[in-house]
Amino acid sequence: MPELVPVVSEKQIEERVEALADEISNYYKGRELVLLGVLKGSFIFMADLARKLKIPVQIDFIAASSYGNSSISSGTIMVTKHPDIDIKGRDVLIIEDIIDSGTTLSYLVEYLLSMEPASVKTCALIDKPERRQKNIKTDFAGHVVKEGFLVGYGLDYAENYRYLPAIYHLKF
């Protein structure tokens, strides 16, 4: 059985999500934002973040999959669920669980820019710079975690552990 080593506690997540919500609310003050969650990993983070925001938002989801090797992004990304909301002329904030190599987020930014939104920015709960390959920085980041494979609070390993309320390092 793999071991679950605590990395970010429930309380630490809650405090950081609240601070992030303030940052985002201030940044987009007076505008009406579209929150675009990347399925499935962002579902808990997005639900908590949305409820802490002090500005009106619309909620939508997008899904992407990468071909080939499943533990490292292959570099070839395909959008498998497109946004329902017409984002042309809108301010869009992509909500991701984790940025690792950066392949997924940089692809999604380019893909969304082709729909002519007013702006596209990114927000990731976890920033894991260890394996970064793309020159992309998240505009809003929760916790920086140096290394390791993380699960819980939406993050999975083979669809397991998403339901855990805190974030753990999965050690084999």
Question: Which residues are part of the catalytic machinery?
Answer: 100
Decide: is 8 part of the binding site for ligand IMP (CB under 6 A): no
Dihedral angle sign, alpha carbons of residues 164, 61, 16, 124 = positive
Here the tokens at position 12 are 């630490």
Interface with ligand IMP in residues 36-65 (CB under 6 A): 41
Using CB under 6 A as the criterion, what x/- string covers residues 107-136 for binding ligand IMP?
Answer: ------------------------------
Instruction: Figure out which of the listed residues 20, 35, 93, 98 binds ligand IMP, where binding follows CB under 6 A.
Output: 98
E-strand stretches of the chain: 3-8, 33-39, 57-66, 77-81, 91-99, 119-127, 140-144, 150-151, 167-171
Nearer to Mg ion, 94 or 120 (CB): 94
Instruction: Figure out which of the listed residues 27, 43, 111, 149 binds ligand IMP, where binding follows CB under 6 A.
Output: 149
Q: Are residues 58 and 8 in contact, defined by beta-carbon separation less than 8 angstroms?
A: no
Q: How far is the CB of 53 from ligand IMP (least distance, A)?
A: 22
Instruction: Figure out which of the listed residues 37, 41, 142, 152 binds Mg ion, where binding follows CB under 5 A.
Output: 41
CA atoms within 13 A on the CB side of 21: 19
Decide: is 21 part of the binding site for ligand IMP (CB under 6 A): no
Q: Which 3 state secondary structure label does DSSP give 121?
A: strand
Interface with Mg ion in residues 130-149 (CB under 5 A): none
Torsion of CA 19, 4, 75, 69, to 10 degrees: -160
Residues of this chain that interact with ligand IMP (CB under 6 A) are 41, 73, 96-105, 149-151, 155
